[in-house]
Amino acid sequence: VRNHDELVTGVLEGKRLALARLLTLIENDDPLGVSALDHLYAHTGHAHLVGITGAPGSGKSSLVNQIALLLRQTTGGQPARSVGIVAVDPTSPFTGGAVLGDRVRMRDLAGDEGIFIRSMASRGALGGLARTTASIVQVLDASGFDVVLIETVGAGQAEIDVARLAHTTVVVEAPGMGDDIQAIKAGILEIADILVINKADRPGLESTVRALRSIIELGHPTQLQQGPDNSPPLWSPPVLQTIATRSVGIGELVKAIDDHGQYLRETGLWQIRDRSRLEVELTHHIRTELMERWRTTLPAGLYQQMLDDLLARKISPHQAAKRLTQANS
């Protein structure tokens, strides 16, 4: 894959080599990647973007593998779907057999043309984790994958931002984590459309189920199934149980993901979520553009001078910012 057109055509045709090449260009902030993205953008907007987030080791990768395997089959009246997978900063690999005990099925996943897996290290994301992930997801979307699964470790704001890229966010917990309600990050629960307690074969399941259900009920009273007046019915996040290593509960999880997608489309929330996501992206690009323009016109030395003055308490940060932004206008 040499030039721009070849890259764009290759991605639109779902060619793996072109896909891999473009994703690398994007991760490296290469201008060729940016211009290819510009051309691909018109072809995005079809994939169901599903975020899978949760504490380290809760079984996200195992679940992603299982979900992908099931989506490749015709299930519950749904046709087989192609699946793009983005794993952000994975500590456990998707390929190599360690994730799935069943090596035969792992081989199926690795050799399946309808599945594309991309792992990215957050440290390597030059343009910021959320933005680089957004671009990678756009490429997979344009390439025609029906579902894009995005795995992130739910730890900080960056991961929550990544989760916000998704139409549907699945938060994965494991038994024991729910014992201490304080330990459950409110921010993570806030973004959950579906809650999964994986490792349901482990002790402590009941108390985790209870803890999560009570938190959900606080945020989503069951009496409020219908919102005020003509507003769409509210979505109450289901609390599901899975054993990823034994393929238990995966059908219910995939059904919940499909149901949520259908709910978003029927209520018009799909569009609303897309719009607010795109607004965040637009604002980011504007900020970057303006900063770059501002830097190039800044008088030499003024920035360092202002920093020195700040340090010496001669000027406040607010005053310094004013001086710096007015210097070039």
Ligand X SMILES: Nc1nc2c(ncn2[C@@H]2O[C@H](COP(=O)(O)OP(=O)(O)OP(=O)(O)O)[C@@H](O)[C@H]2O)c(=O)[nH]1
Is the CB of residue 15 less than 8 Å from the CB of residue 114?
no
Tell the smallest beta-carbon distance from residue 181 to Mg ion (Å). Answer: 25
Tokens 């201490």 locate to 180
Residue 298 is encoded by which pair of tokens?
């800044």
63 neighbors 172 (Cβ within 8 angstroms): yes
Q: What does 99 bind: ligand X, Mg ion, none (CB cut-off 5 to 8 Å by kind)?
A: ligand X
Q: Which of residues 290-329 bind ligand X (CB under 6 A)?
A: none
Residues 76, 80, 85, 90, CA torsion sign: positive
Within its chain, how far is the Cα of 22 from the centroid?
A: 19
Which residue minimizes CB distance to Mg ion? 61
Question: For ligand X, which residue of 45, 56, 187, 268 counts as binding (CB under 6 A)?
Answer: 56
Q: Do 172 and 58 meet the contact criterion of CB atoms below 8 Å apart? A: yes
Closest approach of Mg ion to the CB of residue 59, in Å: 8
Report the nearest approach of Mg ion to the CB of residue 291 (Å). 34
Helices (H), 13-128: 16-27, 31-40, 60-71, 103-111
- Closest contact distance (angstroms) between CB of 158 and ligand X is 15
**Least Å from the CB of residue 92 to ligand X:** 3
**Cβ 238 to ligand X shortest distance, Å:** 18
For the bound state, the minimum distance from the C-beta of residue 1 to Mg ion, rounded and expressed in Å, comes to 29
Q: Angle of helix 250-267 relative to helix 269-297, nearest 10 degrees?
A: 80
Q: Quick one: what does residue 115 bind among ligand X, Mg ion, none, with the CB cut-off 5 to 8 Å set by partner type?
A: none
175 binds ligand X (CB under 6 A): no
Instruction: Determine if 241 is a binding residue for ligand X (CB under 6 A).
Output: no
Binding mask 147-166 for ligand X (x = CB under 6 A): ------x-------------
Q: What residue type is assigned to position 206 of the chain?
A: E
Asked if 168 is part of the footprint of ligand X (rule: CB under 6 A), the reply reads no
Nearer to ligand X, 100 or 306 (CB): 100
Site for ligand X in 95-124 (CB under 6 A): 99
Nearer to ligand X, 1 or 205 (CB): 205
Burial 4-23 (b: 16+ CB within 10 A, else e): eeebbebbeebbeebbebbb
* Shortest CB 174 distance to ligand X, Å: 8
116-146 residues labelled b (16+ CB within 10 A) or e (exposed) = bbbebebeebebebbbbbbbbbbbbbbbebb
Report the interface residues with Mg ion, using CB under 5 A: 60-61, 90, 92
Closest CA to 201 of 166, 169, 247, 158: 247
- Distance CA(171)–CA(188), nearest Å, equals 7
| Residue 165 binds: one of Mg ion, ligand X, none (C-beta under 5 to 8 A by kind) | none
C-alpha span between 33 and 28 (Å, rounded): 9
Total of chain residues touching ligand X, rule CB under 6 A: 19
φ/ψ region of 144 (left if φ > 0, alpha if ψ in -120 to 50, else beta) reads: left
For ligand X, the binding residue among 50, 150, 244, 254 (CB under 6 A) is 244
Strand-strand pairing, 115-120 and 239-241: unpaired
Does residue 57 interact with ligand X by CB under 6 A? yes
**Part of the chain binding ligand X (CB under 6 A), chosen from 22-30, 112-120, 122-130, 199-207:** 199-207
Binding site for ligand X (CB under 6 A): 56-62, 90-92, 99, 153, 198-199, 201-202, 243-245
